[in-house]
Chains A and B, each alone.
Chain A
């Protein structure tokens, strides 16, 4: 059996890349990684550690070339039993196209390895439930939600084959990429510190930023906070914003409305800080502190610093 993984890598191999290679390896059989991007062959070969048998990197195809990219992945996947993507911007753009091209079922938002009946567990109703999806095709395309499996090194570096084939014209032209300096991208973050209306104003975010910095966490917020402009829109988590599944989610001054929970209930551990002991968020939390954020957060940061210094 053969499995194919597609990933795009520019500066480093992110966690999502290691997760999908590890996932494909655990499906059984050989894993061929199809890659695009400028990452060096040396770094790409380390995907062998996570179970890849080979990496084929196409240097002249870009990840925006979704039509040419789909053709290439389709042509390389004729013998594949499973084709695995990360359910991020690449998976969302390419996997549906490939599903049509190969006429193979797409399981999107997978959170676990297949069950014994061949069905795959996915998140539905914005994390409020799970579904088990079966494909009616012989090939199966899976896009895996980030943070669903823990990547484990099991092998050694693998060969990397470089392709520089000419590609057809690209219909999508990239004009620019704006990267916020130093920030941890929210969907990939392992730890997230999030603030709500309880913080009372954008000038109070310093205490959250200190906490986030101490933890190496990304920052997020509730929807009203983004809507009134206290924080940028890309930090809005929930049903209508970004859905995240970090290992640790710390919610400060957020009531825990059902639409907010829908975007964060996949987090492994939830800590809630709120003045109101009746706030609904406590029902979804693992640890809670009933108290004023302006008192609790600096104390929490200090306790973490003390712990790190020990």
Chain B
């Protein structure tokens, strides 16, 4: 059983979001990067649980530059066996997905896990793209994953309910809350991560299909209007006449 977990970096969730003066790029000054929470808490930890109960070999993969090795070492410290970095600045989802699919196509992975989305670009694109490139089924936004021999049983949220589906491997799954619980790496894991293999691959001739031309910050809120506890009729009237939402 071989599992590939796609790991991306994301700015620490408390980071101030600002852009360069020409507004064409995210301003990274003083930003601390973490493993994208969906990739770490759900995809990677579920892969580790499968490894512990059923046996598996876990590879993590990141498309990024050398500075991303810090978050990759964290994923190794939590328990992945080996890491692959595709040495390129991730340009768009198609670029990242083709790089990962190109690496994965001859490696015989039974299962490829991604996060539901990155918390910076919120695309939810890469898993589906990898699945299409490898001609495999894709279960998006899964909140539960069970494995028995070659078959996966998954739950995913659909409009107003939860759907239980079954699919044979190989398959690609994007992971959301519910799948596993967050784990903190221990000292032994951190020590072991230092010597785990981290392979660096150069990508070849990858295309991109989209780009960000500019960024903008939302207009600031005009300020809260406070209503007195003893005057809730006024709140109702404001919601009706001013905000027009009731």
Interface residues of A (CB under 8 A from B): 14, 64, 66-67, 70, 87-89, 92-97, 99-101, 103-109, 117, 119, 122-137, 171-180, 183-185, 187-188, 191, 215, 233-234, 236, 239-241, 243, 247-248, 258-259, 262, 265, 268-269, 271-272, 282-291, 295-296, 299-300, 302-304, 306-307
Contact = CB atoms under 8 A, between A and B. Distances in A.
Count chain A CB atoms within 10 A of each CB in B166, B207, B224, B227 and give the residue with the most. B224
B236 A88 contact: no
Contacts of A136: 208-211
Interface string B225-246: 1111100110111111001011
Nearest to A268: B245
A190 to B, nearest CB: 8
Contacts of A89: 140-141, 156-159
A302 B229 CA distance: 13
B212 A239 contact: no
Given A66-B137, A100-B94, 4 more contacts: A130-B218, A135-B209, A173-B166, A180-B161
Nearest to B162: A178
Interface residues of B, number: 80
B210 to A, nearest CB: 4
Given A89-B158, A248-B246, A177 B163 contact: yes
A108 B138 CA distance: 17
23 contacts: A89-B141, A92-B140, A93-B138, A96-B125, A97-B132, A99-B94, A99-B125, A106-B209, A109-B122, A124-B122, A131-B216, A134-B211, A136-B209, A171-B167, A173-B167, A176-B164, A215-B246, A234-B157, A239-B119, A271-B239, A289-B235, A303-B235, A307-B240
A92 B126 CA distance: 10
Contacts of A265: 218
A131 B212 contact: yes
A67 B132 CA distance: 8
A126 B232 contact: no
B68 interface: no
Contact of A172 (B128, B137, B174, B217): B137
Given A105-B210, A233-B178, A289-B235, A94 B128 contact: yes
Nearest to A306: B233
B227 A288 contact: yes
B120 interface: yes
Among A92, A259, A303, A306, residue most surrounded by chain B Cβ atoms (within 10 Å): A92
Contacts of B211: 133-134, 136
Contacts of B66: none
B123 interface: yes
Nearest to B126: A96
A103 B224 CA distance: 46
Contacts of B178: 233
Contacts of A286: 221, 224-225, 243
Given A173-B165, A283-B224, A129 B119 contact: no
Given A215-B246, A262-B13, A289-B229, A129 B217 contact: yes
A288 B225 contact: yes
Contacts of B38: 240
Contact of A130 (B128, B215, B246): B215
A259 B13 contact: yes
B162 A177 contact: yes
Contacts of B221: 283-286
B192 interface: no
Contact of B164 (A125, A175, A234, A240): A175
Contacts of A177: 158, 161-164
Contacts of A103: 207, 209
B218 A129 contact: yes
A89 B143 CA distance: 13
A258 B140 contact: no
Interface in B88-114: 92-94, 97
B232 A299 contact: yes
A296 B157 CA distance: 33
Nearest to B159: A185
B213 interface: yes
Contacts of A95: 125, 128
B130 to A, nearest CB: 9
A269 B213 contact: no
Interface in B118-172: 119-129, 131-133, 135, 137-141, 143, 153, 156-168
B41 A240 contact: yes
A171 B160 CA distance: 24
Nearest to A290: B226
A187 to B, nearest CB: 8
Given A89-B157, A99-B125, A124-B120, A287 B13 contact: no
Give me the 4 closest cross-chain CB pairs, A-B, nearest first.
Answer: A96-B128, A185-B160, A105-B209, A179-B161
B224 A97 contact: no
B213 A240 contact: no
Contacts of B213: 117, 119, 132-134
